[in-house]
Amino acid sequence: MTSADLLIAMTALTGLIVVAAAALRGWQGWLTFKTRELERPATGHGAEIEGGAASGMARIEIADLKERIRKLEAIAAGVDL
């Protein structure tokens, strides 16, 4: 093996190590983010959803979405409302 081949191999290995380290660091950051996101509702600060609506408003939104789905299913089945 010539010195040029050895230099290319070492450079490629170093580049691979740098990319792997960056990917690992990003993965750990993402896991930390998700852990904090899951812990937030337990502290009471994450009880809000879209636009700051509280859990009571969330139930209304879910009921509205269920009604829309029911109407769309009726339309798909060819039933007149």
Sequence ranges of the domains in the chain: 1-46, 50-81
Q: What is the pLDDT of residue 60?
A: 84
Alpha helices in the chain (DSSP H): 3-43, 55-77
pLDDT in tens, 4-44: 999 999 999 999 999 999 999 999 999 999 999 888 765 55
From CA 81, how far away is CA 2, in angstroms rounded?
Answer: 80
What three-state secondary structure class fits 38? helix
* 19-to-16, 25, 31, 55, 63 alpha-carbon distances in Å: 5, 10, 18, 43, 47
Q: What is the pLDDT of residue 50?
A: 56
- Which of 2-11, 33-42, 58-67, 70-79 is the most confident on average? 2-11
- Looking at 7-11, 44-48, 53-57, which range is the least confident one? 44-48
